[in-house]
């Protein structure tokens, strides 16, 4: 299934980005696959000099809030991130002999790219991209990201989920990956003015 892409090129705003695995295969609930994303986020943040403001890695998709720099727009960041994480994921699947998952990615390629010289499609072609034009919209998406694992029943509280920036904001825990948190936002989260679990009617992927 292909996702709709809402594409903007305004480099002055933070962007809310969603990328999903083909066939919504669940891989990122395994540390070795989630760590592929973490390593590449760190690498491309340095390469493109974007600010990573929030993230969550769910079993079959990832949400990010990033603010791009003149070094690379959103399309360039996502293009390289998807390309090189896909290579690492495929290699790890082969090493682990996960032929069932590889078959899903191969069938996706046959369905959508049969005329191309491509064996596997790890990520869905399109991605969601929303420019966050106001502080209110930013805060809504930040709550959305931090609440996603709770709404999916994976943890009891946002700060309990390992691969989420909720830990950075709530506990100042940057051990998984550093987040470019603004002090004002950190204080809002910790004081309860911006509570990750407060929004009950968010529609999650």
**The predicted structure's pLDDT at residue 111:** 82
In the CATH scheme, what architecture does the domain 14-134+174-186 have?
A: 2-Layer Sandwich (3.30)
**The predicted structure's pLDDT at residue 95:** 98
CA 196 to CA 166: how far, in whole Å?
A: 8
pTM of the model as a whole: 0.85
Phi, then psi, of 108 in degrees rounded to 5: -65, -40
Q: 142-169 pLDDT, tens per residue?
A: 999 999 999 999 999 999 999 999 999 9
Q: How far is CA 40 from the centre of its chain?
A: 11
Mean of the per-residue pLDDT values of the chain: 86
**The predicted structure's pLDDT at residue 58:** 98
Three-state DSSP at 74 gives: helix
**The predicted structure's pLDDT at residue 198:** 35
Name the pairing type of β-strands 128-132 and 61-67: unpaired
Q: 57-75 pLDDT, tens per residue?
A: 999 999 999 999 999 999 9
pLDDT at residue 202 is higher than 50: no
pLDDT at residue 139 is higher than 80: yes
CA 127 to CA 6: how far, in whole Å?
A: 8
**The predicted structure's pLDDT at residue 192:** 54
pLDDT at residue 94 is higher than 80: yes
The one-character DSSP state at 162 is T
Q: Which of 116-125, 178-187, 194-203 has the lowest mean pLDDT?
A: 194-203
pLDDT at residue 41 is higher than 70: yes
Q: 106-125 pLDDT, tens per residue?
A: 998 888 777 677 899 999 98
Q: What residue ranges do the domains of the chain occupy? A: 14-134+174-186
């Amino acid at each position: 299934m292909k996702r709709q892409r809402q594409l903007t090129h305004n480099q002055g705003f933070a962007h809310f980005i969603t990328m999903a695995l083909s066939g919504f295969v669940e891989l990122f609930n395994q540390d070795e696959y989630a760590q592929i994303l973490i390593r590449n986020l760190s690498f491309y943040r340095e390469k493109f000099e974007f600010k990573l403001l929030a993230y969550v890695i769910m079993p079959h998709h990832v949400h990010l809030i990033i603010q791009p720099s003149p070094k690379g727009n959103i399309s360039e960041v996502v293009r390289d991130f998807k390309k090189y994480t896909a290579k690492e994921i495929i290699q790890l699947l082969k090493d682990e002999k996960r032929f069932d998952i590889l078959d899903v990615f191969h069938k996706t390629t046959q369905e959508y790219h049969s005329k191309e010289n491509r064996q596997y499609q790890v990520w869905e072609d399109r991605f969601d991209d929303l420019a966050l034009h106001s502080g209110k919209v930013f805060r809504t998406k930040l709550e959305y990201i931090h609440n996603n694992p709770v709404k999916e029943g994976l943890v009891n509280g946002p700060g309990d989920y390992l691969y989420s920036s909720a830990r950075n904001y709530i506990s100042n825990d940057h051990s998984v990956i550093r987040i470019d948190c603004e002090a004002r936002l950190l204080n809002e989260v910790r004081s309860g003015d911006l509570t990750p679990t407060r929004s009950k009617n968010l529609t999650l992927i």
